[in-house]
Amino acid sequence: MKKRGLLAAAAALCLLAGCKKSELTEYENGIENLEKQKYEQALRNFENAIQKGEQSVLSWRGIGIARMGQGDYEKAEEAFSTALGITEKKEKALQRDLYLYLADTQYHQEDYQGCIETCTQLLETDAHQDGYFLRGSSYLRRSEYKKAEDDFEEVISNSTDYQDYLDIYRIYQECGLSADGAEYLEAALDLKGNSAEEYYQRGRIYYYLSEYKDAEKSLKKALDKDYEQAALYLGKVYAEEQDYEQAISMYKSCLETEDMQSEAYNGLACCAAAEEDYEKALSYIEKGLKTKEPEMKQVLLFNQIVFLEESMDLVSAKEKISEYLELYPQDQDALREYYFLQTR
């Protein structure tokens, strides 16, 4: 679903709550562990905070976020519902935040009607863009296409954010309706501008339209203007065109930037795997897992399992999938992979 800067919001609320003491409270420790994706530790921190009467609403919120990180959306929904139940009416921003989290958990459980009802309740008093996005996504899942279109129109109305258009496209893509979703990508190309970021964003749009030559042209212009993130997408473009030498060159250039390293190592691993060099692919995965970017951890761990399986190291693949499911127990793709490996 749409990324709303979840941990950034958590950090902001932490600051509002007064996280400036010399010794961290249980709640503050929970926030730190969330940022590090140490979900079990974060859960213990927030549960202890509730027992001590610290930041009860925010601690329940923290529990919900940690459960989402683990992929346990049912328990996350319970936590957000509990937090909403004890939130004061005057805390409008916090209520909105909790409604959106609650709707997101319902969406991930395929409770699309519940998500629609939660978003509708929020939108009655707060016409928030993410509320329309989540509700529109749920309508699309229920094949209520006109209602989905109406909500998505609210999302992009007067929007100059390329990500809004791309997020909507991805929902259509997930529903097997890429051709319908492509209309939003085409609309995004009507946004004008010649800044480095705008060239980068248009390059991404062309990439998802599979118009790789145009994508390459826009991304190169962004890169010429020192927009470093463009190198990652250039790597993806070259990989799609099976120009692995160019892709590898782009990904290796990204290793010089700390916050791009894990995604670059993942790209290098995919290139190596495409050339059936699974030993090299797995070595890149290991390097990626040693970086300080927790956002890519789940992707890297899952790809590690795939590459082990493709290299016919089924013993290690079974071991790694069991470890993975301890961290992400609700990952349906991983569960299917687990059951498949049990038959091998």
The single residue listed with the structure tokens 């065109």 is 241
Residue type, 192: K
Q: Under the phi-then-psi rule, with left for phi > 0, alpha for psi from -120 to 50, and beta for the rest, what region is 110?
A: left
Q: Taking the domains of the chain in order of start, what are their residue ranges?
A: 1-109
Q: Higher confidence at residue 54 or residue 87? A: 87
What's the mean per-residue pLDDT of the chain?
A: 90
Q: Note the pLDDT of residue 329.
A: 74
CB-CB contact of 236 with 267 (8 Å): yes
Examine the pLDDT at 230 and tell me if it is beyond 80. Answer: yes
d(C-alpha 340, C-alpha 344), whole Å:
7
Q: Higher confidence at residue 206 or residue 323? A: 206
Which CATH entry fits the domain spanning 1-109: 1.25.40.10, 1.10.3720.10, 3.90.1150.10, 2.60.320.10?
1.25.40.10
CB-neighbour burial class of residue 199 (10 A; exposed 0-12, middle 13-18, buried 19+):
buried
Angle at 238 between CA 212 and CA 265, to 5 degrees: 135
Examine the pLDDT at 211 and tell me if it is beyond 90. Answer: yes
Tokens at 248, concatenated? 């590898």
CB-neighbour burial class of residue 318 (10 A; exposed 0-12, middle 13-18, buried 19+):
middle
Residue whose C-alpha is closest to residue 149's, from 162, 159, 139: 139
CB-CB contact of 233 with 203 (8 Å): yes
Residue whose C-alpha is closest to residue 43's, from 17, 86, 79, 95: 79
CA dihedral 270, 276, 278, 279 (to 10 degrees): -120
Q: What is the pLDDT of residues 247-267, one digit of tens each?
A: 999 999 999 998 999 999 999
Q: Model confidence at 341, in pLDDT bands (50, 70, 90)?
A: low
Tokens at 155, concatenated? 């999302």
